[in-house]
Amino acid sequence: MNREQKRKEARKNKNININYTNDSNKEIYRLLKIAIVVIIIFALLFFGVSLFLTKEIDLSKKDNDTTDTGSTGAILANSIFKQKEDTYYVYFYDFNNENTNIATSIINRLQDKKVYYVDTSDILNKNYVGESSNKDAKNLEDLKVVKDTIIKIENDKIVAYYEGEEDITNNLK
């Protein structure tokens, strides 16, 4: 091989090497594009499942404002101190055996207050329902209720404890 042929061969090898790096760059960009598309598809899938199936994402226009008044829903006994209001009532009773006199008193006397309801027959609340009550409970671990009971909570502390129909109807304010 003479000098001229060696130069031509070197140029061909140089062009080939450049083409290889060019092809590898194209391949890397192609893989990045595929990865981004896959991530976007998974994000859309997650959003769709959360929105439509599991209802974890709620896009309704309802404002859950704490300034509104009136009754609220059922909660578990272990979350009675975890509510967002400063002052509220918690009514412990058997959902299957509601006392209408107490329910009427709550509706009439606590209509503008927050009232949370705890089902004493629910197995998840059994740790807080017993044969004897503890009216002096200061925290969740000490809390025990027997029958229909209303507890007033202010700033995560029990300030009033009413047990039984007569005590509840006489003392609700």
DSSP string, 104-153: HHHHHHSTTS-EEEEETTSGGGGGGB-SS--TT--SGGG--B-SSEEEEE
Q: Is the pTM of this model over 0.85?
A: no
100-154 residue pLDDT tens? 888 888 888 888 888 899 888 888 888 888 888 888 887 788 888 887 888 888 9
The sheet carrying 149-154 orders its strands as 115-119, 87-93, 149-154, 157-163
Distance of CA 126 to the CA centre of its chain: 22
29-84 residue pLDDT tens? 999 999 999 999 999 999 888 887 776 776 765 554 444 445 568 888 888 888 88
Could you tell me the domains of the chain? 1-61 (no CATH), 77-171 (3.40.30)
